[in-house]
Amino acid sequence: MSIEEINNISFQIISYAGDGKCDCLEAVEEAKEGNFEQAEQLLAKAEESINKAHEVHTQLLVEEARNPGIQPTIMFVHASNHLAIAEWAIEDCRMKIDIYRLIKSK
Amino acid sequence: MYNIILVCEHGASTSAMVTKMRAAAEQLGEDCEINAYSYSKMDELIDSADIVLLGPQVRFKKKTFEQKYADKNVEFVLIDPVDFGTMNGEKVVKMALEHLKQ
């Protein structure tokens, strides 16, 4: 696998993960306003994007398992960081939305 | 000449987009200055910018920037996630020029 191919995969990961992370943040903003239905829709959309990022990321791991010796690029490391942040964002934002739900129901 | 500014978290992945966009702008015969930065530098960048393009990972900053720099007459435009993921510099530069020539 060439450097260009690895970087192309990295850009896809960054794009999907970044898009999903932003949906998570918007979901919390909606929950803050009491719009829980919109918040849930945004979380569902975020999950879809982050799953796509995860799938693309896994492709590369599978490729490495098949052909050991692939050299990771700096951009791939950067993309993995974006994915990790997005995966945490969805869990964190879900908790925050639950807290808003609790506050608003009082 | 247009000054097109791209921002993301650190200006890393958008730098790759800048390379593609510069090549596309040259092919189109458009005179553009295109650079990528971290969004945290916006205070220093805003005065010289004609347009600011945001990577999908910093979409959440759009509203904040639009409010903060409301008096600057600079448009903040999101880069389509598919165009970003495929590094489609030509499409992004055309989109930016469309906004600038409006």
Hey, what amino acid is at B97? L
The reply to whether ipTM tops 0.90 is no
For A3-55, give the secondary structure using H, E and C: HHHHHHHHHHHHHHHHHHHHHHHHHHHHHHCCCHHHHHHHHHHHHHHHHHHHH
CA distances from A59 to A6, A71, B16, B57 (A): 10, 15, 22, 21
What's the domain range around B10?
2-100
The residues spanned by each domain of chain A are: 3-105
Q: How many residues does chain B have?
A: 102
pLDDT digits (tens, 9 = 90+) for B14-37: 999 999 999 999 999 999 999 999
Choice among B8, B24, B54, B74 that is catalytic: B8
Q: What is the pLDDT of residues B51-62, one digit of tens each?
A: 999 999 999 999
* Main-chain dihedrals φ then ψ at residue B75, nearest 5 degrees: -90, 135
Task: Report yes or no: A22 at the B interface, CB cutoff 8 Å.
Answer: yes
Q: How, if at all, do strands B75-78 and B51-54 pair?
A: parallel
Q: Considering its fold, how many domains does chain B have in total?
A: 1
Q: Which of residues 54-83 of B touch A (CB under 8 A)?
A: 55-60, 81-82
Work out the pLDDT band at B12, boundaries 50, 70, 90: confident
- Domain A3-105 in this protein, CATH class: mainly alpha
B32 noted as active-site residue: no
**For the domain that residue B96 is a member of, what is the CATH number?**
3.40.50.2300
Q: Shortest Cα distance from A82 to chain B (angstroms)?
A: 8
Is pLDDT at A1 greater than 90 in this prediction? no
Query: Residue A19's closest CA among A99, A104, A82?
Result: A82
Look up the pTM and report it: 0.89
